[in-house]
Copies of this chain bind each other. A is one copy, B any other.
Amino acid sequence: MKMESNSHKLSRPLQGIIVPMVTPLLDRDTLDVTGLERLVEHIIAGGVHGLFILGTTGEAPSLSYRLRYEIIQHVCDRVKGRIPVLVGITDTSFVESVKIAGKAEDAGADAVVLAPPYYFPAGQSELLEYLNHLTHELSLPLFLYNMPTYTKLVYEPETIRAAAEYPGIVGIKDSSGNMVYFRQLQTLLKDRPDFSLLMGREELLAEAILLGGHGSVCGGANLVPELYVELYNAARLKDLPQVEVLHRKVMELSNAIYKVGRYESSLLKGLKCALSCIGICSDFLAEPFHRFRRAEHEVIEKYVSELGIAKPGKSD
């Protein structure tokens, strides 16, 4: 019954701006519930087309399972079907992935998202067998998630092509930044217009959509969701002058907010820091990371102001 009520929401292919939600935390195992609710409302108010919780931006691998289940429940309860909710189930343990997927289904989520298991380096044929086994255990539709920077294991294009034939696998989110890969997927899947090709790097949202991608998963849409929605719409309408203006804004935000500090984690830290600057949620990060300290915080604060990122409730 739950499935029925949801099933109308997840269009095939899924299109538009999907927000990989950060996880507001008070400490390493305590949800910032007020921050979470404020964030959900802020994002939905921006007109986005879906919410992706427990992804990389959501720090899922750093969280306890108890906390992950709590987040699933809270978010689904809060969203109440206004937009589709996708839940990350990536795990090194098959059994735990299935268990999270069960919680997602129970809470009323709309789909699950899976990067390759990231400890043992599976071969491509093993990866395909793994997906085959997994689809037999899932009820919700499944999006694949290519994230080689962190998983060190690529879903090769031919693996995706084969997996697209498995029941329940409905799309892929590519966060590799390798645009040749994305274009190869499009070519290989040209006979599958229902298979959703989502760009996982917001800097490439514009071009992904202009040349046939279906949507984009944009971390910055936690902060300024309407910017990405507008850019998506302009790209869909092939309004190139407008695309250029908005794409430039996306790049400015990226080159400022995500480039503070010296580690690869600067995107995540910058995003949470900026969200705290505009009063949405705590900037606490779970281990192995920590929030920006004063010096970096001040740089982010300056950028937030310069970029005109407004507190929610105020016009921008």
Contact = CB atoms under 8 A, between A and B. Distances in A.
A150 B254 CA distance: 28
Contact of A251 (B67, B92, B186, B248): B186
A179 B150 contact: no
A121 B265 contact: yes
A184 B203 contact: yes
Of the four ranges (under 10, 10 to 19, 20 to 34, 35 or more), the interface on chain A belongs to 35 or more
A288 interface: yes
Q: Chain A's interface: helix, strand, loop or mixed, by majority?
A: helix
Interface stretch (A40-48, A103-111, A125-133, A296-304): A125-133
A12 interface: no
Interface in A186-240: 186-188, 201, 203-204, 206-207, 210-212, 238, 240
A14 B239 CA distance: 27
A120 B183 contact: no
Contacts of A248: 187
A69 interface: no
Interface string A48-87: 0000000010010111111100000000000000000000
A28 interface: yes
